Amino acid sequence: MQAAGTNSRKSENLPEKIYISTVDALYSDGRSLFVGSLSAIVAALVTYWKSGEPALLACALATVALGVLRIAEMRRYAGSRPDTIEDARRWEARYIRMSGANVLVLGVWCFLCFALTQDAAIHLISFSMVLAYLLGIAGRNFSSDRLVVIQTSCAAVLMIGGLLYQNSIYYHFLALLFVPFFISIRIIATRLRNVLFDAVIAKHDIESLANRFDTALTNMPHGLCMFDGQKIVVVTNGRFNELLGLSADIDVRGMHADELCAACIANGMIPPARSERFTSRFMEALANPKRKSVSLPLQGRKTLQLTFQPMADGGSVMLVEDITERRRAEAKIERLARFDTLTGLPNRMTFTERFEYELSSRNSALAVLFVDLDQFKQVNDTLGHPCGDALLCEVADRLRSVVRRGDVVARFGGDEFVVLQNPSDGTESAALLARRIIQAIEQSFNIDGHQIMIGASIGIALSPGDGNSTGQLLKNADIALYRAKADGRGVYRFFEPEMDETARARRILELELREALAREEFEVFYQPIIDIKTGKPASYEALLRWRHPQRGMVSPGEFIPVAEEMGLIVDIGNWVLRKACSDCTIWPSDIRVAVNLSPLQFRRANVVAVVADTLKETGLAPHRLELEITESVLMDDTEAAGIALQKLRDLGVTTALDDFGTGYSSLSYLHAFPLDKIKIDRSFLEDIDTDKKALTLLRGVARLSAELGMSVVMEGVETNEQLAVLVKEGSFTNVQGFLFGRPMPVANIIDLHGLDQPSARVA
Ligand code: C2E
Ligand code: CA
Ligand code: CA
Domain positions in the chain are 2-207, 223-329, 341-495, 510-752
Cα(681) to centroid of ligand 3, in Å? 6
pLDDT of residue 760: 45
pLDDT class for 246, splitting at 50, 70, 90? confident
Indicate whether 424 pLDDT > 80.
no
Cα(658) to centroid of ligand 2, in Å? 6
pLDDT of residue 12: 58
Q: Quick: pLDDT tens for 315-328.
A: 899 999 988 888 88
Q: What is the CATH number of domain 223-329?
A: 3.30.450.20
Q: Quick: pLDDT tens for 454-495.
A: 999 999 999 888 998 999 999 999 999 988 988 877 899 999
- Strand 744-745 to strand 522-531: parallel, antiparallel, or no bridges (unpaired)? antiparallel
Please give the mean pLDDT across all residues of the chain: 88
Indicate whether 1 pLDDT > 50.
no
Any idea which ligand is nearest the CA of 597? 1
Separation CA 409–CA 60 (nearest Å):
113
Separation CA 390–CA 344 (nearest Å):
13
Separation CA 49–CA 464 (nearest Å):
135
Alpha-helical regions (H) of 2-119: 16-28, 30-51, 54-79, 85-116
Return the SS3 of 278: helix
Indicate whether 634 pLDDT > 80.
yes
Q: Which atom of ligand 1 is nearest to the CA of 628?
A: 2
Separation CA 308–CA 285 (nearest Å):
7
Q: Identify the residues whose C-beta falls under 6 Å from ligand 1.
A: 527, 542-544, 555-557, 560, 573, 576, 596-598, 628, 658-659, 682, 716, 718, 736-738, 743
Long-range contact set of residues 612-619: C-beta below 8 Å, sequence gap at least 24: 612/651, 614/574, 614/577, 614/578, 614/581, 615/581, 615/651, 615/653, 617/578, 617/762, 618/578, 618/581, 618/582, 618/585, 618/762, 619/585
Cα(609) to centroid of ligand 3, in Å? 25
The conformation of residue 232, written as its DSSP 8-state character, comes to B
In angstroms, what CA-CA distances link 30 with 66, 78, 87, 104, 193? 13, 11, 20, 20, 20
Cα(596) to centroid of ligand 1, in Å? 9
Nearest to 456 by CA among 389, 381, 375, 344: 375
Separation CA 112–CA 55 (nearest Å):
8
Any idea which ligand is nearest the CA of 736? 1
Indicate whether 6 pLDDT > 70.
no
Tell me which H or E stretch contains 746: helix 746-752
Q: Environment class of residue 342 by beta-carbon count within 10 Å: exposed (0-12), middle (13-18) or buried (19+)?
A: middle
Separation CA 653–CA 744 (nearest Å):
24
Q: Which atom of ligand 1 is nearest to the CA of 544?
A: 38
Stretch among 78-82, 119-123, 398-402, 413-417 having the lowest mean pLDDT: 78-82
Which residues is 409 bridged to in the sheet? 419
CB contact burial 164-186 (16+ within 10 A = b; e otherwise): eebeeeebeebbeebeeebeebb
Q: Which atom of ligand 1 is nearest to the CA of 555?
A: 26
The stretch 716-732 carries a mean pLDDT of 93
Cα(377) to centroid of ligand 3, in Å? 28
- Strand 233-236 to strand 223-227: parallel, antiparallel, or no bridges (unpaired)? antiparallel
Any idea which ligand is nearest the CA of 681? 3
Indicate whether 273 pLDDT > 90.
no
Stretch among 132-146, 571-585, 593-607 having the lowest mean pLDDT: 132-146
pLDDT of residue 8: 36
Q: Quick: pLDDT tens for 192-203.
A: 888 887 887 888
Q: What is the pTM of this model?
A: 0.52
At what angle are helices 145-165 and 120-140 packed, to 10 degrees? Answer: 170
Stretch among 295-304, 328-337, 598-607 having the lowest mean pLDDT: 295-304
Share of the chain above pLDDT 70, in %: 97
> Is 341-495 a CATH 3.30.70.270 domain?
yes
The stretch 149-170 carries a mean pLDDT of 88
Indicate whether 551 pLDDT > 70.
yes
Share of the chain above pLDDT 90, in %: 46
Residue closest by Cα to atom 23 of ligand 1: 716
pLDDT of residue 464: 87
Domain at 510-752: CATH architecture: Alpha-Beta Barrel (3.20)
pLDDT class for 296, splitting at 50, 70, 90? confident
CB under 8 Å to 563, separation ≥6 — which residues? 513, 569, 572
Question: When comparing pLDDT for 514 and 83, which is higher?
Answer: 514
- Strand 734-735 to strand 711-714: parallel, antiparallel, or no bridges (unpaired)? parallel
The angle formed by the CA atoms of residues 594, 600 and 605, to the nearest 5 degrees, is: 85
pLDDT class for 398, splitting at 50, 70, 90? very high
CB under 8 Å to 338, separation ≥6 — which residues? 346, 347, 349, 350
What number of other Cβ atoms are within 10 A of residue 100's Cβ?
15
Cα(630) to centroid of ligand 2, in Å? 9
Residue 576 sits at φ, ψ, to 5 deg, of -60, -45
Question: When comparing pLDDT for 629 and 302, which is higher?
Answer: 629
